[in-house]
Amino acid sequence: MTDDAFYIERFLDGEEKAFEAIVRKYQNRVLNIVFSMIGKDRESEDIVQESFLKVYRSLKGFRRRCSFSTWLYRIVMNTAYDFLRKRKDIVTEEEALGQGADASGGHADVLCVLLMKEKEALIQKALARVPLAYRSAVVLKDIEGLSYAEISKVLGCRIGTVESRIYRARQLLRKELMRLGGDVI
């Protein structure tokens, strides 16, 4: 029995702490996915919280036809899509430049930190301009490291579609990065 199955069974048997273990296991990965899709800290955290609330409420209906992580990521992606549909989200330059790496990294050179923040902001801004269907595929592959089969299940499309979306997303991302800041990567 996997860790996920163990905790799911314990939760379904009434042990609330088991759900906390699931949240702890996945919260950083889920936040990374959402932040990559949305690009806003506060709103990303709200979407993560909403996603886990949906999981909490519907875990009894989880049929185990796919892995728990695939099911979870699908809920997360759908919640992010709903948010984006409502907001028609576009990251402004000021918002993008306000995001980035934490500068409290100790002995890091200030110039390196500033350059890293600028690079991260450009990547986030370029990613926000990639159409959602392509963006979601490339985020799941390149940021979360999911396999094509897992992405296919999360997005509900064929593996060939996933491959073409990732290829197209990378092309569009490269084009946007060149347009925004020259040779960033």
Q: For residue 66, what pLDDT is reported?
A: 79
Q: For residue 126, what pLDDT is reported?
A: 85
Coil/strand/helix, residue 13: coil
Question: Per-residue confidence of the chain (185 residues) as pLDDT tens digits?
Answer: 578 889 999 999 999 899 999 999 999 999 988 888 887 777 888 999 999 999 999 998 887 777 899 899 999 998 988 888 887 644 433 333 333 334 334 434 455 555 566 677 777 888 888 998 899 999 999 888 899 999 999 999 999 999 999 999 999 989 988 887 755 55
Residue 18 tokens, joined: 């088991």
Residue 45 tokens, joined: 């955290």
Q: For residue 88, what pLDDT is reported?
A: 60
* Residue 58 near residue 72 (C-beta atoms within 8 A): no
Q: Is 129 exposed, middle or buried (0-12, 13-18, 19+ CB in 10 A)?
A: middle
Q: At 135, which helix (H) or strand (E)? A: helix 132-138
Rounded to whole angstroms, the Cα distance separating 38 from 90 reads: 9
Q: For residue 96, what pLDDT is reported?
A: 36
